[in-house]
Structure 1
């Protein structure tokens, strides 16, 4: 991969990873509700899960959509149901001191698995492979995955930090409830461009 292509890939990664989407909104909400330390598994699952998804997508999973177009419709339907469920959980999250023992951020495995039903993640993966690993050689796919990993760690940490930063402002339960409802609404709204497009 030439330096020019790598630079373009880095810009693509930054533009797609730092913009609001399901992962970033959930990371921000988790940071606000649980703090940085408790959100680290969720953060790690997002930062590592997406690059790990890129490899099989680039090596052939994206051919499934070429061969059987209804697969993309099924993915969209599953994505909508799962994201609506996550939005409901965020909207109804109790303040940390009032929450039950079962209230916790997503685990590493849950966050990594979420990438497979995240419509923005699929759009990003398909776009990145199409643009930067056109021949679908393993080396090119690994460059794409590596770029997403490096920039994804910074992006995920940034969004969690934003959440922990507003945590002090959300010390009152009423403010936190409003924040959680807004984050849930934004999470649902973040699906629209991908689902409509």
Structure 2
């Protein structure tokens, strides 16, 4: 029972805390409504839980042996985050012009696999709960995380759709989009910065 409570708290904390995926979900909920963010949320949820499952089954050993894989993922992941950030930075706040720029299922899934923080969270969970020692515990946690992750990420889309009334004018929406876009770009460079100094041992 205590183990389940700890797993639930871990999954909720990791799923609902601010990060690139949740910020993109927030902007989608704001600009297109919560329902339009469903594909991205589902992709991010499945992408993360699949990564968690594979790391629990031993994928982390491959990543550890071939460190350049994580470096490459960091670069591609940062590039994808910058791409989303750039789209928000250049948004004029007009909903009609943003219809074609909704993030989709595959982008949500890819962003999790290209995010070194997601890898770190999965490795931490496997070590913390000794998921590599018990397939039953691993499968249970993956199912639990999938449910919590979906609602945790999805809550950002709901929040975005709820504050849309306050940001109802194109000018206000554009201001928030540019703010979120700037944060995403900063996060991307922060990821690269961390990975670079980790690689050189600083």
Q: Same fold (TM over 0.5)?
A: yes
Q: 1:79 corresponds to which residue?
A: 77
Partner residue, 1:148: 145
Structure 1 residues 185 and 110: alpha-carbon distance in aligned structure 2, compared to 1, 3 A threshold: same
**What's the TM-score once normalised by structure 1's chain length?**
0.88
Question: What's the C-alpha RMSD, in Å, of the aligned pairs?
Answer: 2.1
CA contact (8 A) 2:93 2:171 kept: no
For 1:36-115, list aligned pairs within 5 A.
36-99=34-97, 103-115=100-112
Moved more, 168-177 or 44-53: 44-53
Task: Extract structure 1 runs of 4+ deviating beyond 6 A.
Answer: none
> Could you say if the C-alpha distance between residues 140 and 194 of structure 1 is closer, same or farther in structure 2, counting changes exceeding 3 Å?
farther
1:25 aligns with 2:20: no
Alignment of 1:112-127 (within 5 A): 112-127=109-124
Pair 1:142–1:104, CA change in 2 (3 A) = same
CA separation in 2, counterparts of 1:176 and 1:56? 39
Provide, for residues 41-63 of structure 1, a one-character-per-residue CA deviation record: whole Å limited to 9, x for no partner: 11221223211221112212211
The separation in 2 between residues aligned to 1:100 and 1:134, in whole angstroms, is 42
2:155 counterpart of 1:158: yes
Query: Does the 8 A contact of 1:119 with 1:195 survive in 2?
Result: no
Please say if 1:11 is aligned against 2:35.
Answer: no
Task: Name structure 2 gaps, 5 residues minimum.
Answer: none
Most deviating of 90-99 and 49-58 = 90-99
TM-score normalised by L of structure 2: 0.86
CA shift, 1:122, in A, is 1.6
1:35: which partner in 2? 33
**Between Structure 1 and Structure 2, how many residues are aligned?**
194
CA deviations 1:107-157 (Å, max 9, x no partner) are 222212221112322221111112113434432221221121121122122
For residues 174 and 152 of structure 2, the distance between their equivalents in structure 1, rounded to whole angstroms, comes to: 25
